[in-house]
Structure 1
């Protein structure tokens, strides 16, 4: 058991939450399309951030208004979970493309004495089976057919999960946490550059009449930057949940409205029922905790694959020791990229073969311990040489006695991340998602519905056997979400909370921050701002225009197939450090998105 240049923008928000504060953010980059193999949300600019220090408490989230809501709760004496709930509710309103009460989440929480992992992942309907995303001939359907409509919608999990965590750790009344989001929904908020850019980019959202009326004008044009967008339907929904608890969402009008929306889609209806929603349960699971040098790193367990994959990468990099290969002048070295990418290949190979919802599918042999066994990871590390292996084979842990096919999930969540620490020793890391940008493109009662079921494999078996992450009734799809908490191994004190959106690249994004802070002694803002890098057991992926030509040439000489792409992470991080003999919190937000840090 474990024991445990944005300040002006923040000041502007203190005056009026609905003011058009986004004028101070960098305008979105013009992007004609998106590479869906990287992430479902387009890049909207890069603006350097300096990070922020505080003494008592801190919160960081992907949108300034959401951060402000969490900060208000901490200022009122709330716990980290109170801040997270208020932040999530505002994200539902201001960042509907990424997360919301119609989606799911994974949460890691430390109260200073122990670490808990909460699973708010969506579940498949009782009527679903392994052929859900296959045509009449058993072939996988297209991405568009799978995502857009009712078929992809799972029973939402985020509210049940937050309610469970609040019952255990909340300090403020449940109803009080809804006030900032309700006020913003009633009064309106200024459309941000990022939301506007995504509305311009998406070609499916306007097909839904409800979403079209809300996000677009009468001529079909997206609401412009700075437009004050009001959402009275969401305000009504939030008031009902504030008064009636999560049951108001899962067992009343809202659940009936969700089912009606899903089942009545004109071309792609879904199987979700009121009984599926009413029966949803958030789960508390044992976190994935493993020692890495002087630290203990904890992540989310299955159905998230992030905790295991990151622990494997760190275990491999402990053997190969990446610490000597620090960035030079903020630029990554060829050897550092090589080791990081090869470790990623090995971890992603195991992830793709073995990890799924362990309520349905066992992990190989002795489970998590088999995949994280130091001897097993040393054998995997021994496969890394001077040349890139290109594509790694999955390993065979000791006592392995099951065989699975290779996964074909889309696995590209449009996601958000938040971190918070409170004045009482509590800290959390929470990744939250509706899956693709704007989820299933279905809007009901003021919020977007997820398309999380497309995180299942569209194929159900191959020549090696059944696929672990195939669709099954009541099952939770595998995720790459990787909320992470890091503790000092000796004192058990929380030293870092971090995480990111980004689909299957989340694992590499978070691992980059861990290596940057733990191995290269960067502060969390510097680590977040490093160029994104890694391999998902394919090409070596580098953030476009962020790695020098000479380093890329060195990598190619070592056999790397290099692919430069927009790698649109949304990392947040809070780090404990000592300055002048006094401990303080230092927070960072991703320069690739609109996030900010606030604290006292």
Structure 2
């Protein structure tokens, strides 16, 4: 936990900056609820939103539009997500709830000691992160293809048109991308090809307002649009694997066979009840859906609506529920293809009631220990807390009422720094636990060949008591993601807030015995009262928050993004 906090600090500024606006319009402002007969889109970048809306206007499904948004974000938000990474999609509609796993996989040759040196200690951070060691086989194109095959309406190639146009004709550098580039030099500018796109002759990022073109990415997207996912996983496998292997400083390099054998998967959704609502999210290898379900389930016995968001008691209860959920996360969550995850037990109402009983409104738990849910495996050790930080979430609803909640990531800002085909490759394998064993017991999230690292991503769809989709939500921000989502769900259901107001709620989060509170927020003024309840290691920070949501209202769909990123959408 302490290591995570140390790693969190230097990236706050870079992650607080970033998404883009067009030169033809002023910086975006939070959208109001409006009638949207063709559907609605929320994304971190207005141009990605426009790509999704264009697909909806052509009669595309929510799945079609979400794919177009992901592709467009590859162009205009290269620091956060795209085809060089992976993601999770929750799709809800007439066919029920379907979840798709496009999480990256470790090469077959990867071993549990992948990130350790000969002395058994972790390799230096730059060696394990900014190199081929950290790159997993990208999953977003496979996820898109699988979801499109089941729920697409338009032709595959049509979904690529907006992104191809952005890459070929250019987009304008905004403050967020510029700040991210400046904060990640040594990583974002690691390759000659990336420097040629985003940096000037003086080595500095190109100025805000500069039109950027990425012809190599346009060509990559055109090939995939015409030939299908095979252009990425088969025809392009040798070149991609050779590039990653050449940047891998020790054994366990990626091979063409690793890429060719990659498959996106359908997973069972995690659906639980909360105050007569139905909350559906992503299961393993993501911990996000389970963490959200546990936080909400443990808090249901408390009258949060009566307490309200200005109550220190509410935030104390919220912290305690987080601590219990994250203790279980560290003990039990990993890739369910490799480790036994007691999914039903972790979300069992009786188990959550027992966990909730540990929460005292008057004082903090001395230590939040993992529980023993029904079906819990024995001899399981806790892992460390890796987390995605280069991530983007987007939400789409189509004219038929189908909804998609999709979180896409390349892990860190600009991923591994490796730049191939006009896009950055992920450093997702650093989401595995560094140490494979603890006290002689295996860690659930240790590295293994073909395995998917644990994630915090929490794409979520919420149904109201009448069975109608009322909220489509998700977030970026590493291990803060489930906390952001749970907080916002409470904001809408318990506090009666709009989506914009719910996303604007402050963040408080426990990292072991340390509590972070959002600097400058109302929570910062509650520090003394939180300390009196037993939260005695409180640190004010500016956390990397970036959430997006759609909320059904009587007037139509409200499209909202976290207001904290709005100032950085400007391009001048």
- Name the TM tier (shorter chain): over 0.9
Q: Note closer, same or farther for the CA distance 1:549–1:228 as it changes in structure 2 (3 Å cut).
A: closer
Q: Give the corresponding residue for 1:529.
A: 504
In 1, the alpha carbon distance for the partners of 2:286 and 2:394 equals 17
2:486 to 511, 522, 532: 511
Q: Is this contact kept in 1: 2:388–2:455, CA < 8 A?
A: no
TM-score (norm 2): 0.93
Matched, 1:51 2:42: no
- Contact 2:291-2:482 at 8 Å conserved across structures: yes
Decide which moves more: 218-227 or 318-327: 318-327
Selected match of 1:456 from 424, 432, 450: 432
Structure 1 residue 36 displacement after superposition: 4.2
Q: Assess, with a 3 A threshold, how the Cα gap between structure 1 residues 94 and 38 changes in structure 2: closer, same or farther.
A: closer
* Structure 1 segments (4+ residues) deviating >6 Å: 45-48
User: Are positions 1:249 and 2:232 aligned together?
Assistant: yes
TM-score, L = length of structure 1: 0.88
Instruction: State the alpha-carbon separation in 2 of the partners of residues 390 and 485 from structure 1.
Output: 34
1:313 aligns with 2:288: no
User: Which residue number corresponds to residue 542 of structure 1?
Assistant: 517
Q: Gapped runs of 5+ residues in structure 2? A: 1-5, 19-26
Matches within 5 A, 1:186-585: 186-205=168-187, 206-253=189-236, 255-265=237-247, 267=249, 271-327=253-309, 332-363=310-341, 367-385=342-360, 386-463=362-439, 465-489=441-465, 491-547=466-522, 550-560=525-535, 561-579=537-555, 584-585=556-557
**CA offset at residue 155 of structure 1?**
0.5
SS at 2:335 equivalent: coil
Pick closer, same or farther for the CA change 1:522–1:237 going to 2, 3 Å: same
Cα–Cα, structure 1 residues 399 and 283, in superposed 2: closer, same or farther, change >3 Å? closer
1:426 shift after superposition: 0.8
For structure 1, the 5+ residue unaligned runs are: 1-32
**Change in CA separation of 1:38 and 1:381 when aligned onto 2, cut-off 3 Å:** farther
CA contact (8 A) 2:174 2:568 kept: no
CA drift of 1:230 comes to 0.6
| Rounded Cα–Cα distance in structure 2 between residues aligned with 1:35 and 1:308 | 23
Separation of aligned partners in 2, 1:415 and 1:315: 26
Alpha carbon RMSD of aligned pairs, Å? 2.1
1:590, distance to aligned residue in structure 2 (A): 1.0
Paired residue secondary structure (1:313): helix
Q: Per-residue displacement from partner, 1:394-418 (whole Å, max 9, x unpaired)?
A: 1112343422112124323310000
Classify the secondary structure of the residue corresponding to 2:300. Answer: helix
Does the aligned pair in 2 maintain the 1:130–1:472 contact within 8 Å? yes
Post-superposition Cα deviations, 1:552-590, rounded to whole Å, max 9, x if no partner, equal 2111111112221112211111111225xxxx2112111
The 1:534–1:409 alpha-carbon spacing in structure 2 relative to 1, beyond 3 Å, is: closer
Change (3 A) 1:93 1:209: same
Give the 3 Å change call, closer, same or farther, for CA 139–183 of structure 1 in structure 2.
same
Whether contact under 8 Å (2:392, 2:408) holds in the other structure is yes
CA contact (8 A) 1:127 1:473 kept: yes
What CA distance in whole angstroms lies between the structure 2 residues aligned with 1:198 and 1:550?
30
- Stretch deviating more after TM superposition (136-145 or 435-444): 136-145
Q: Give the 3-state SS of the residue equivalent to 1:85 in structure 2.
A: helix
**Residue pairs, 1:89-100, within 5 angstroms:** 89-100=71-82
Cα separation, 2, equivalents of 1:199 and 1:132: 29
1:542–1:565 contact (8 Å) kept in structure 2: yes
> CA contact under 8 A between 2:111 and 2:252: conserved in structure 1?
no
Shift of 1:368: 1.4
Residues 149 and 161 of structure 1: CA distance in aligned 2, closer, same or farther (over 3 Å): same
Are residues 198 and 390 of structure 1, via their aligned partners in 2, closer, same or farther at CA, if it must alter by over 3 Å? farther
Question: Is contact 1:589–1:595 with CA below 8 Å preserved after alignment?
Answer: no
What SS does the corresponding residue of 1:204 show, helix, strand or coil?
A: coil
Cα deviation per residue 1:307-344 (whole Å; 9 max; x = unaligned)? Answer: 111101111000234232212xxxx3211110111000
Name the CA distance, whole Å, in 1 between partners of 2:366 and 2:208: 43
8 Å Cα contact 2:517/2:524 also seen in 1:
no
- Across the two proteins, how many residue pairs are aligned to each other? 552
Question: Counterpart of 1:5?
Answer: none
User: Does the CA-based 8 Å contact 1:568-1:592 persist in structure 2?
Assistant: no
Contact 2:94 2:402 in 1 (8 A): yes
2:66 is equivalent to residue 84 of structure 1: yes
Alignment partner, residue 164 of structure 2: 182
CA shift digits 1:500-526 (9 cap, x unpaired): 010011011111111100111111111
SS of match in other structure, 1:320: coil
1:237-266 Cα deviation digits (max 9, x unpaired): 00100000111011013x223212211127
The change in CA–CA distance for 1:388 and 1:588 in structure 2 (over 3 A counts) is same
The answer to which of 556-565 and 186-195 deviates more is: 556-565
In 2, the alpha carbon distance for the partners of 1:204 and 1:71 equals 36
Contact 1:303 1:479 in 2 (8 A): yes
2:80 is equivalent to residue 105 of structure 1: no
The residue that corresponds to 2:15 in the other structure is 42
